[in-house]
Amino acid sequence: MSLVTPGTDSEHRAAAGLTELFREHHLELVRLALLMVGDRATAEDVVQDVFERLHRRWRHLHEPANGLAYARSSVLNACRSVHRRSAVARKHAPRLAADSAALGPDGPSALADRSELAQALRALPRRQREVLVLRYYADLDNAEIAATLRIAPSAVRSNCTRGLATLAGILGEDEK
């Protein structure tokens, strides 16, 4: 089944690429979003929105073959926005009380996982958290993480090292 109905040849190729991306990686992307925002409904919304945007931009991508990396970047960007939105919403809770439903019935803070380590991960600075999730969940290497986050490979290594060290510090145990 195709996700899109193509019109022209170029649209057909674009449709096929996007459909394949969805078929192969929708689950992975939702899981990635879940690890970043901690709430399943929000994670699914994020990925839904990303595919919607991809649909509009697919034909304009320089390298559609690398759509997965682009989709991962988009998911992480969208998750970042969720965090910022929820932080702003908390700060302005009285003013936005009437709009709280817009953030979802649980709000983004309804974690799917409450283990100590997962919560410690969530307390890390954003960049470190992203690098650790891409490394230890998505199994990406340094170059792939760098391309996804659009940072230098050396920044990937340092954020990973610092993130692991911080986790160890928070959990009160040795890193190794």
Partner 1 sequence: VNTIEDRLRDELRAVADRVQPDSLRPLRVSAQRRRATTVRWLAPVTAVVAIAGIAVGVSLARQATSPPAPAAGARTQFYVTMNSAYVRAGTRPGTGPDGSNELVEWATVRDAATGAALTTVRLLVIHELKGRFGGIPLPQDQGIAAASDNRTFAVADQDGVFLLRVTPDGRSGRLTRVPASTRYEDAIALSPDGTRIAIQDWHCPGHNTACETRIRILSVATGTGRTWLGQLSGPARLAWTDNGRQVMFLWGDAGNFPATTYRLLDADAPPGSLLAHSVAMPYPAVPKDTAFLPTATPDGRNLIVVLATGRKEPGKFQLTDYRIVEMSPATGRITAVLYQAAIRWKLAPDQPYYGCQVLSVAGRGVHALVQCPVFGRLDGTKFTPLKSGSVPADLQEFGALAAW
Q: Among 21, 71, 86, 130, which residue interacts with partner 1 (rule: CB under 8 A)?
A: 86
Q: Among 24, 93, 102, 141, which residue interacts with partner 1 (rule: CB under 8 A)?
A: 102
Amino acid at residue number 46 = V
Residue 98 vs 105, nearer CB to partner 1: 98
Size of the site for partner 1 (CB under 8 A): 105
For the bound state, the minimum distance from the C-beta of residue 58 to partner 1, rounded and expressed in Å, comes to 8
* C-alpha distances in Å from residue 28, one per residue of 8, 34, 62, 127, 176: 30, 10, 23, 20, 29
Enumerate residues 112-151 that contact partner 1 by CB under 8 A: 112-127, 132-133, 136-137, 143, 146-147, 150-151
Q: Among 13, 20, 25, 162, which residue interacts with partner 1 (rule: CB under 8 A)?
A: 162
Is residue 91 part of the contact set for partner 1 (CB under 8 A)? Answer: yes
| Residue 63 φ/ψ, nearest 5 degrees | -130, 80
Distance (Å, whole) CA 48 – CA 139 = 23
| Residue 24 φ/ψ, nearest 5 degrees | -85, -30
Enumerate residues 6-25 that contact partner 1 by CB under 8 A: 6-7, 11, 14-15, 22
Residue with tokens 């170059």: 143
Contact present, 83 and 76 (Cβ < 8 Å): no
Among candidate residues 150, 118, 116, 152, the one with its CA nearest the CA of residue 132: 118
Helix axes 67-91, 40-57, angle to 10 degrees: 130
Enumerate residues 38-77 that contact partner 1 by CB under 8 A: 38, 40, 43-45, 48-49, 51-52, 55-56, 61-63, 66, 69-70
Residue 75 vs 132, nearer CB to partner 1: 132
Q: Among 76, 109, 130, 141, which residue interacts with partner 1 (rule: CB under 8 A)?
A: 109
Among candidate residues 59, 76, 46, the one with its CA nearest the CA of residue 147: 76
Q: Among 76, 80, 140, 141, which residue interacts with partner 1 (rule: CB under 8 A)?
A: 80
Distance (Å, whole) CA 129 – CA 169 = 15
Is residue 93 part of the contact set for partner 1 (CB under 8 A)? Answer: no
